[in-house]
Amino acid sequence: MKSRGKRKLRPPCSRVSVLASGGLCKGNSRTVTVKLGRFAKLQRALQFSRAGAKSCVKMISLRACISSSSLRSRLSASLSSVRRASTFYNASVAGLTDEEAEFRNAVHDFAQKEVAPRAAEIDRTNTSPMDLWEKLGSMGLLGITVNEKYGGLGSGYLQHTLAMEALSTASGSVALSYGAHSNLCVNQIHRHGTDAQKDKYLPPLIAGTKVGALAMSEPGAGSDVVSMQLKATPKDGGYVLNGNKFWITNGPIADTLVVYAKTGEGSKGITAFIVEKGMQGFSTHQKLDKFGMRGSDTCELVFENCFVPSENILGKLNKGAGVLMSGLDLERLVLSGGPLGLMQAAFDVAVEYVHERKQFGQPVGAFQLMQGKIADMYTKLNASRSYVYAVARACDRGEISRRDCAGAILYSSDRVVEVAMDAMQCLGGNGYINDYPTGRILRDARLYCVGAGTQEIRRMLIGREFNVDLM
């Protein structure tokens, strides 16, 4: 690969995205606290110093991202004029209330401080950052939709989606593991568990001292759920599980898992169980070496005469299909925040680059072809965001639409791959090397085209929903 000219810029990292959160400001040094009502746990993320650029540079490690004095001076000028490429995140256009915008900004600030500086290393080493779980728990992010009596925030799916988006802007893999824990496991136990199950499992999961997962897919049964082969045979006050699960996000690190098994024939013979790490006969195989979402540990689960007591049935016996399908709708919705965050990250990198990189005596962002790419990326991001937020609000009203939950992740997943590709193109040769995050963003984005159901399954599901209505 031949590069034209010297590469003057270091990876822009997350500066533009951090500016989007409104976390940088000027003035005398003092602390500001924004009141969040029931989001009190998140107030600490909205406490920031008005000491100007010095404290902000320390917070996001800009020194590691800036390699030239001229770029430093341009950064200083942009800060002093509060000129931020990230007016690109407009809370009013997105339809967020002040409280929702504050919530989103709090999670964003946390993610940029605690997650973004480690994202490249997490991807390179394919290592899950275990220390982040309790930090997420202390922020209240692991139980957003859970009743406050169990340690949750007692909020809704829009906030959950906003958190997924903000974390994905920092790291797609950390956000994916977060979604598997907080939505697929925690939310399902909260929605379908008995009081005893909630009392036992939710507090440590919400605190982050335990990690959760959901196990549905198998080597021969992905979207075809009814064909699953994991058997649960009744025995002495419980059930003995035999079989395998595959593609399980958080599988290698999970302490508490929601596992679906066959207790009868057909769709009416599926039951959900809560399985704990350490149960005799339950083990995990080596984690998978994935193309993207590296650091979001994924593996095969093995059940060999694993006894699970009857009190660990989640929902009712042979009613697991209902638990599963209702959960899939909300899973698709919340995970739609992932493509939004990755699009924002790709857009931030591209906008930063095209306004700093000069060719023919001017920034490449001055060229109309490049402006067209930026415009396309911007509109795709905001169109996706509007659809996802609208579906989330509907779910919070109790109007859960299967076709629109599928539609939200279908549309945003197609768009995120396009936006990531455009971001790589904006960077030219630099977009193809791992000094910049564009390659990682693209690899992470591809997961959403096959995870939580493939794009083809989503299209089929939407079409089938219309057939039910009209035929």
Residue 394 marked ligand-binding: no
Q: In terms of C-beta distances under 8 Å and separation of at least 24 residues, what long-range contacts does 314-319 make, across chains too?
A: 314/188, 314/189, 314/192, 314/193, 314/197, 314/258, 314/272, 314/273, 314/274, 315/192, 315/271, 315/272, 317/263, 317/271, 318/263, 318/264, 318/268, 318/269, 318/270, 318/271, 319/271
How far is Cα 335 from Cα 70, in angstroms, rounded to an integer?
Answer: 40
The answer to whether the annotation marks 92 as part of a ligand binding site is: no
Tell me if 179 is assigned to a ligand binding site.
Answer: no
CA 57, CA 223: separation in Å to the nearest integer? 46
Say whether 12 counts as a known binding-site residue: no
User: Is 219 annotated as belonging to a binding site?
Assistant: yes
Find out whether 357 is annotated in a ligand binding site: yes
Which residue in 417, 406, 405, 431 sits closest to 380, CA to CA? Answer: 417
Query: Per the residue annotation, which of 100, 114, 165, 331 is the catalytic one?
Result: 331
Report the half-sphere exposure of 407 (CA within 13 A, side-chain side). Answer: 18
Give the Cα separation of 42 and 104 in Å (integer): 10
**Residues counted in the chain:** 471
Residue 445 C-alpha from the chain's centroid: 11
165 is in an annotated binding site: no
Residue 314 marked as a ligand binder: no
Q: Is 320 annotated as a binding residue?
A: no
* 453 annotated binding-site participant: yes
Question: Is 456 annotated as ligand-binding?
Answer: yes
**Any known ligand binding at 204?**
no
DSSP string, 342-387: HHHHHHHHHHHHHHH-EETTEEGGGSHHHHHHHHHHHHHHHHHHHH
Say whether 368 counts as a known binding-site residue. Answer: yes
CB 261 within 8 A of CB 271: yes
The answer to whether 447 is a known ligand-binding residue is: no
Burial class, 458, CB count within 10 angstroms (exposed 0-12 / middle 13-18 / buried 19+): buried
74 is in an annotated binding site: no
Locate 45 and state its tokens. Answer: 């993320």
DSSP code, position 182: I
Q: Is 344 marked as a binding-site residue?
A: no
Q: Is 127 annotated as a binding residue?
A: no
CA distance 365 to 362: 8
Residues paired with residue 302 on neighbouring β-strands, in sequence order:
244, 283
Phi, psi of 23 (to 5 degrees): -90, 0
123 among annotated binding-site residues: no
Residue tagged 């000094």 (tokens)? 435
Q: Is 217 annotated as a binding residue?
A: yes
Q: Determine whether the annotation assigns residue 426 to a binding site.
A: yes
Is 262 annotated as a binding-site member?
Answer: no
Take residue 362 and report the two structure tokens written for it.
């001017």
User: Is 359 marked as binding a ligand?
Assistant: no
Chain center to CA of 99: 21
Annotated ligand binding at 128? The verdict is no
Which of left, alpha, beta for 440 (phi over 0: left; psi -120 to 50: alpha)?
A: alpha
Question: Is 331 in the active site?
Answer: yes
Q: Are 131 and 206 in contact (CB under 8 A)?
A: no
Is residue 168 within 8 A of residue 175, CB to CB? The reply is yes
- Binding residues for substrate, as ranges, are 223, 267-268, 329-332, 452-453
- Binding residues for FAD, as ranges, are 214-223, 247-249, 357, 368, 425-429, 454-456
Would you name the residues annotated as active-site residues? Answer: 331
- Binding residues, as ranges, are 214-223, 247-249, 267-268, 329-332, 357, 368, 425-429, 452-456
